């Protein structure tokens, strides 16, 4: 039994934050941002929009594209590091709004690697026979926790949601394997100090509300981690890099993607990139990119797709899908 992706969907908020606008907020330039990150603009939620709103619309679209009614879903997993609130889970809020009743729903937090972790979890549930049809959403609203006075982080992140419907299917198509990793000794590389049980929101001061990032250190570990995960996964699946039809990587920085392509001797033309439009949307970046790649007909029947992601935790991983 395989888990097949039978529908994709995506949703980004309407608010566009361009490099030109950022030039008015911090000392930076469009040219610096484009050359160091590949990002031209990103989407930003308004005060009245939360993660579950984006997740709801992305999920609706994925369900429609899959031709699956909400009452046919057996499990909802929401990969997010920016839930609507500490409790309940955003997955429960979305499940209720979609009109799904009495099916399990939970959040999973692996930050920017959330979609890869979620895909592995959904696949395991389906292969075990526990659930047949799973809705997996990747959503983040990192801009809510971004300090727009910190030029090293505010240029990078954007908001968005992507979703897939996975279903048990016989045959050779579906998720072929996943490799997941974490290194918790580097938890402080990317973190938001306040709002949890360490510094509860009532005790937090302004610096605690926002994300802090060691950009340079993260960059180096990201390239190494992604390469390690991909090589291990291909070895496990007995597949060569030449057999991969398309790589859909987490959209963190175009230079990370280019460095990875060089290390793997893989052509950039076969790597899907949309970072210019959305920046780094954390757990949403791979499912948004997948949805756009499908819509643009960059993915054909029987294609081998490689997903690879890296993020706070530190977490990283890769998964292989036969379409």
Instruction: Pick the piece of the chain touching ligand COA (CB under 6 A) from 75-83, 193-201, 204-212, 214-222.
Output: 214-222
Of the candidate residues 15, 16, 23, 28, the single one contacting ligand COA (CB under 6 A): 28
Instruction: Pick the piece of the chain touching ligand COA (CB under 6 A) from 7-15, 213-221, 235-243, 288-296.
Output: 213-221
Residue number closest to ligand COA, CB atom: 215
| Smallest gap from residue 36 Cβ to ligand COA (A) | 5
CA 60/CA 57 separation, integer angstroms: 5
Based on CB atoms, which residue is closest to ligand COA, 58 or 112?
112
What does the chain come to in residues?
323
Q: Lay out the site mask for ligand COA across 138-167 (x = CB under 6 A, - = otherwise).
A: -------------xx--x------------
| Smallest gap from residue 230 Cβ to ligand COA (A) | 16
Residue 191 binds ligand COA (CB under 6 A): no
200, two tokens: 């509860």
For 159, counting Cβ atoms within 10 Å of its Cβ (0-12 exposed, 13-18 middle, 19+ buried), the class is buried
151, two tokens: 């030029």
| Smallest gap from residue 275 Cβ to ligand COA (A) | 10
CA-CA distances (angstroms) from residue 95 to 9, 107, 136? 16, 11, 11
Based on CB atoms, which residue is closest to ligand COA, 73 or 222?
222
CA 235/CA 258 separation, integer angstroms: 22
**266 φ/ψ sector (left φ>0, alpha ψ -120 to 50, else beta):** beta
CA 6/CA 66 separation, integer angstroms: 5
- 47 in active site: no
Based on CB atoms, which residue is closest to ligand COA, 169 or 181?
181
In degrees rounded to 5, what are phi and psi of residue 22?
Answer: -65, -30
Q: Lay out the site mask for ligand COA across 216-255 (x = CB under 6 A, - = otherwise).
A: x-xx--x-----------------------------xx--
CA 2/CA 199 separation, integer angstroms: 43
Residues 92, 250, 253, 291: which is the catalytic one?
250
- 191 in active site: no
CA 280/CA 253 separation, integer angstroms: 8
CA 261/CA 246 separation, integer angstroms: 12
- 265 in active site: no
Residues 19, 92, 112, 291: which is the catalytic one?
112
Which residues lie near ligand COA (CB under 6 A)?
28, 32-33, 36-37, 112, 151-152, 155, 190, 213, 215-216, 218-219, 222, 252-253, 280, 310-311
């Amino acid at each position: 039994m395989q888990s097949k992706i039978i529908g994709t969907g995506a949703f980004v908020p309407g608010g566009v934050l361009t490099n030109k606008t950022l030039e008015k907020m911090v000392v930076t330039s469009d040219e610096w941002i484009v050359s160091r990150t590949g990002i031209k603009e990103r989407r930003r939620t308004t005060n009245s929009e939360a993660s579950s709103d984006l997740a709801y619309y992305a999920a609706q679209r994925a369900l429609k594209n899959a031709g699956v009614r909400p009452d046919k879903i057996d499990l909802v997993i929401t990969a997010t590091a920016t839930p609507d609130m500490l409790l309940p889970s955003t997955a429960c809020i979305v499940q209720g709004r979609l009109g799904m009743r009495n099916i399990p729903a939970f959040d999973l937090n692996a930050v920017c690697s959330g979609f890869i972790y979620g895909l592995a979890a959904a696949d395991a549930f389906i292969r075990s026979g526990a659930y047949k049809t799973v809705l997996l959403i990747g959503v983040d609203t990192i801009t809510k926790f971004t300090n727009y006075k910190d030029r090293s982080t505010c240029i990078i992140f954007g908001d968005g949601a992507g979703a897939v419907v996975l279903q048990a299917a016989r045959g050779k198509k579906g998720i072929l394997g996943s490799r997941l990793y974490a290194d918790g000794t580097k938890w402080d590389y990317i973190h938001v100090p306040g709002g949890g049980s360490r510094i509860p929101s009532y005790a937090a001061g302004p610096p605690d509300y926002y994300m802090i990032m060691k950009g340079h250190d993260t960059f180096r570990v990201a390239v190494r981690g992604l390469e390690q995960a991909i090589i291990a996964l291909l070895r496990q699946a007995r597949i060569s890099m030449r057999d991969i039809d398309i790589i859909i990587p987490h959209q963190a920085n175009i230079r990370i993607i280019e460095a990875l392509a060089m290390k793997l001797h893989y052509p950039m033309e076969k790597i899907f990139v949309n970072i210019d439009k959305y920046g780094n949307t954390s757990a949403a970046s791979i499912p948004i990119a997948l949805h756009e790649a499908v819509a643009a007909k960059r993915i054909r029947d029987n294609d081998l797709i490689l997903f690879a992601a890296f993020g706070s935790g530190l977490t990283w991983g890769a998964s292989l899908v036969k379409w």
